[in-house]
Amino acid sequence: MRGNIFADLKKRPGFSRRTALRTLMSVGIGVATIPLLPRAGRAADPLSVYTWSGYDDPKLFPDYVKKHGGPPNFSFFGDTSEALNKLRAGYKTDIAHPCADDMTRWVGTGVVKPIDESRLEHFDQFWPELKNLPGTVSEDGKQRFFVPFDWGNSSIIYRTDKVEVKEPSWRILYDDDRYKGKCAMYDSGPPAVEIAGAILGAKDIFDMTDAEIDAALPLLRRQRDQVKFYWSDNSTVEQGLSSGELVAAYAWNDSVRRLKKQGLPVAYMDPKEGMRTWVCGLVLPKDVEHEDLAYDFLNAFTSPETGAYMLDEFGTGHVNKKSFEMVSEDVLDSLGLDDPTTMMKRTVFLRAVNIDREQKYNDVFNMVKAGG
C-alpha cells in the first residue's frame, strides 16, 4: 500500500518532497518506512545516501551510474531533525542531505566531518553566494562541512491580470486592503512572524526580541483578516490562483512554473524586503565508510548536467552556475531565476532559529490564528 500511495503522489501536478511527506504522514506512514522501489538490473553498490524522498532519481547522478554501473543505496528521512537524531544515535550512512540552516546544529553535535575542497571537481563553477553560508564553514573559514546542492525561493505568486503592483512588498499578504480575502499564506509560524518582522524593520528576523514580536502582533492579526486561508499543500494555492479565488499567495517557485505552463498570467514578486531562500546540500558523516565513492557521488550531484535537469524537471535552483546556461530563458524566467546574481544579493537566506524563539514564533502565530 505504501508504494502505491507514493506512486500516486508522484503523478500529482503539485508533487514535491514536501507535499509527499505531508500526505504520507497524514495517513500514518513515516518516510523512513517506505521501501525503495526495485530497479531492473540494479548493481550492488556499498555507498549509502540518506536523503529526502525523490532524490534517488538516477538522472540526478548519471556520472556516478556510468562510473560504477548502478546507483547507490538510498534511505529517506521525513525532516532534518529526524535525520540528525538518527545519526547521533549511531545510524550509519556515507552521505546525508541536510539544509544550510541546519548546519549549526549538525556541526555542533559533531556528526559530520570536514569536506576536502580539492576533491570537488566542480567547485569553481559553484555560485559564490552559496559557498560560505553561515554555519556551513568553520569560523576561520578553513574547514568546509557542507556542499550546497539544491536551492529555491519562497515569495509571492500573483495574478498579473488582477494585481497592480505599486511597490513590490510582502505587505500584499498582510494589510493591502485592495486584495483582502483574496490572498493565502503558508500555514507556518516562523515565515509569518519573520516576514512581519522584516516589514517592520526588526534587527534580526531569525532572533526577534519579545518586544519586536509584540510589535508584529497587529500585523499578524491584520493578515488573519487579509487571507482567505492558510495553506499546507501547495496544490491548493495553485488551484486557487487558477480559479481566480486567489490573486496572490505565499508559494515556492516551482509553483510559478507549473502555473505558467498552464498559460495562467502569473508572476513571482521580488519583494523589497527580500525573497526567502532555502539551500540544501550534502555532508559526510564523521564515520563515513566509503569516502572515495562518496566524493564520486558529490561530484555527480553537483555537475552542470544534473543542475540543468534539476531546473527543468524539479523546478529548483542548483549550485552549479553552468547549469543555468544549459536551460532556456523561459525556464529560468518561469522560476523567477532569470537573474540569480541580483536575486541572491537581495534575498534573505534562511538561517537557524533558536529553539525557544521558534517555539515563540509558533505560539504567537497559533494564538493569532485562533482569534487572539
Beta strands 112-113 and 248-252: pairing type?
A: unpaired
Q: Is residue 9 part of a domain?
A: no
Q: Tell me: do 86 and 184 sit in the same domain.
A: no
Q: Tell me: do 51 and 109 sit in the same domain.
A: yes
Domain with 115 in it: what CATH number? 3.40.190.10
pLDDT at 10: 32
Residues 6 or more apart whose CB falls under 8 angstroms from that of 180 comprise: 225, 226
How far is Cα 177 from Cα 307, in angstroms, rounded to an integer? 41
- Mean pLDDT, residues 297-317 taken together: 96
Q: Which residues pair with 137 in a beta bridge?
A: 144
Question: Which of helix, strand or coil describes residue 170?
Answer: helix
C-alpha cell at 158: 500573483
- Mean pLDDT, residues 347-364 taken together: 92
Q: Is the pLDDT of residue 7 over 80?
A: no
pLDDT band at 334 (very low <50, low <70, confident <90, very high): confident
Q: Are 87 and 42 in contact (CB under 8 A)?
A: no
> Could you please report the per-residue DSSP string of 11-48?
HSTT--HHHHHHHHHHTT--GGGPPPPP-TTPPP---E
Q: Tell me: do 200 and 64 sit in the same domain.
A: no
Q: Average per-residue pLDDT in the chain?
A: 88
pLDDT at 22: 39
Q: Is residue 138 part of a domain?
A: yes
Q: Tell me: do 234 and 167 sit in the same domain.
A: yes
Q: Is residue 4 part of a domain?
A: no
Q: Tell me: do 338 and 294 sit in the same domain.
A: yes
Report the candidate in 297, 337, 295 with the shortest Cα–Cα distance to residue 314: 337
Q: Is the pLDDT of residue 147 over 90?
A: yes
Q: Is the pLDDT of residue 291 over 90?
A: yes
| % of residues, the chain, pLDDT over 90 | 77
pLDDT band at 38 (very low <50, low <70, confident <90, very high): very low
Question: Residue holding cell 547549469?
Answer: 323
Residues 6 or more apart whose CB falls under 8 angstroms from that of 234 comprise: 14, 16, 18, 19, 251, 252, 255
pLDDT at 68: 96
Q: Are 116 and 142 in contact (CB under 8 A)?
A: no
Q: Is residue 40 part of a domain?
A: yes
pLDDT at 183: 98
Q: Tell me: do 247 and 234 sit in the same domain.
A: yes
pLDDT at 354: 87
How far, rounded to the nearest angstrom, does the alpha carbon of residue 20 sit from its chain's CA centroid?
A: 14
* Domain encompassing residue 271: 154-275+351-369
pLDDT at 41: 44
pLDDT at 27: 31
> Could you please report the per-residue DSSP string of 310-365?
IIIII--EESBGGGGGSS-HHHHHHTT-SSHHHHHHHSEE-----HHHHHHHHHHH
| Burial 104-143, CB ≥16 within 10 A → b, else e | ebbbeeebbbbbeeeebebbebbbebbbebebbbeeeeee
Q: Which residues pair with 16 in a beta bridge?
A: none
pLDDT at 44: 58
pLDDT at 141: 87
Q: Is residue 26 part of a domain?
A: no
Answer with the residue of higher pLDDT: 149 or 8: 149
Q: Is the pLDDT of residue 129 over 60?
A: yes
How far is Cα 255 from Cα 242, in angstroms, rounded to an integer? 11
Q: Write down how long the chain is.
A: 372
Q: Tell me: do 229 and 80 sit in the same domain.
A: no
| % of residues, the chain, pLDDT over 70 | 88
Q: Roughly what angle, to the nearest 10 degrees, separates helices 234-243 and 17-26? A: 110
pLDDT tens for residues 194-233? 999 999 999 999 999 999 999 999 999 999 999 999 999 8
How far is Cα 79 from Cα 99, in angstroms, rounded to an integer? 10
Q: Tell me: do 195 and 252 sit in the same domain.
A: yes
Q: Is the pLDDT of residue 91 over 60?
A: yes
Name the DSSP letter for residue 68: H
pLDDT tens for residues 240-261? 999 999 999 999 988 988 999 8
Q: Tell me: do 185 and 125 sit in the same domain.
A: no
State how many domains the chain has. Answer: 2
Q: Is residue 3 part of a domain?
A: no
Q: Tell me: do 235 and 178 sit in the same domain.
A: yes
Q: Are 196 and 364 in contact (CB under 8 A)?
A: no
pLDDT band at 333 (very low <50, low <70, confident <90, very high): confident
pLDDT at 24: 37
Q: Is residue 268 part of a domain?
A: yes
Residue 9 parent element (H or E): helix 2-11
- Mean pLDDT, residues 3-27 taken together: 36
Q: Is residue 172 part of a domain?
A: yes
Q: Is the pLDDT of residue 355 over 50?
A: yes
Q: Tell me: do 45 and 171 sit in the same domain.
A: no
Q: Tell me: do 43 and 188 sit in the same domain.
A: no
- Mean pLDDT, residues 132-161 taken together: 95
Q: Is the pLDDT of residue 75 over 70?
A: yes
